[in-house]
Each structure stands twice: as C-alpha cells, then as structure tokens.
Amino acid sequence: MVEPNEELSAARKVIVEMLKRGELVRAAELFFDRAFAPLFELSSRNAEQINRLTRDVSELRATVSDLTRDVSELRATV
C-alpha cells in the first residue's frame, strides 16, 4: 500500500502536470476527489454509527419502559 504522504505527493505531481497542460477542470476534479472523498467517507461512517446508536438507545428505552411496567405490576401484586 502507498503511504498517504506518497499518495498525496503523487497526486500533486499529476495535478501540476494537468495544470501545465491547461486541464484546469480535470485538475480541480482530481484535487477535490483526493481532498474531500476521505471526509465524505468518514462522514458517512459517522452517520451510520449515529443511526446505530440511536436505534440502540430506542431499544434501551423500550426495555426500561418494559421493566418499569413489570415493577409496577409486581408492586401491585405485593
């Protein structure tokens, strides 16, 4: 696997060459792909984790509600 710094260095070289050839749009696309794709991926993973945690909290609330009801029923029978 290529080290991140080597990958960035290689991407910079490609972008510079594109700019020298006047390929501004392609260079910008490559720059944004390299710069922001990891952030979008991280953001997506964080959103998945947040959704999973939200479901877990909902399940815990339901469990606590069930337990509270069970305790109330037990108190009523004592």
What residues contact residue 24 under an 8 Å CB cut-off, 6+ apart? 18
Q: What is the largest CA-CA distance in the chain?
A: 86
- Could you list the residue range(s) of the whole structural domain that residue 51 is in? 4-77
Please report the pLDDT score of residue 51 as a whole number: 92
- What is the separation of C-alpha 61 from the centre of its chain, rounded to a whole number of angstroms? 25
CB atoms within 10 A of CB 77: 5
Please report the pLDDT score of residue 3 as a whole number: 56
Write the pLDDT tens digit of every residue in 19-61. 899 888 888 888 888 778 888 888 888 999 999 999 999 999 9
Domain count, the chain: 1
